[in-house]
Amino acid sequence: MTGIHADIDALKGLHGALARYRHAQRDVTARGEDQVRATRAALEEKASQLRAQLELSQGEYADCRERAAQAGPEDLPVDCSGYARAVAQNAERLEQIQLWRQRIEAEASEFSGVAGRFAALLADDLPRMEDHLAAIITSLEAARRVQAPS
């Protein structure tokens, strides 16, 4: 009996595998989108913090330069190089984050075309394949019933 219906059993196995595949890959696509959102948010947060640090360091640098400008010939020299380095470092890190954000936007945009086709495949084509396979199984089962000895 198993041998006679092995093709039908195999098709039912494939039908189940297609349905599981559709659900699992939808989860994969959702996790991919979540990851893009999470990284965007993390970079935005880092950029926001760095902008605040940059403003702070620029203010401290400006204060230092003012103190240096107001210092008299008898005063100790005012060294603002540490503040200048802090400004440069914060600006460089902010620039680096902005470059990563631009790169992610460019790659996410490129990815969206492929992702859109795959999403349509999961939403439309795969259920159609499952229906097609189910119809084949039904047809094979009906033919076996007709052929079965009474």
Is 52 a binding residue for other proteins by CB under 8 A? The answer is no
Three-state secondary structure along the chain?
CCCCCHHHHHHHHHHHHHHHHHHHHHHHHHHHHHHHHHHHHHHHHHHHHHHHHHHHHHHHHHHHHHHHHHCCCCCCCCCCHHHHHHHHHHHHHHHHHHHHHHHHHHHHHHHHHHHHHHHHHHHHHHHHHHHHHHHHHHHHHHHHHHHCCC
Is 97 a binding residue for other proteins by CB under 8 A? The answer is yes
For other proteins, the closer of residues 21 and 64 by Cβ is: 21
Q: Which residues, 17 to 46, sit near other proteins by CB under 8 A? A: 17-18, 20-21, 24-25, 27-29, 31-32, 35-36, 39, 42-43, 46
Choose the binding region for other proteins from 15-23, 52-60, 63-71, 80-88 (rule: CB under 8 A). 15-23
Is 117 a binding residue for other proteins by CB under 8 A? The answer is yes
Question: Under rule CB under 8 A, how many of the chain's residues touch other proteins?
Answer: 46
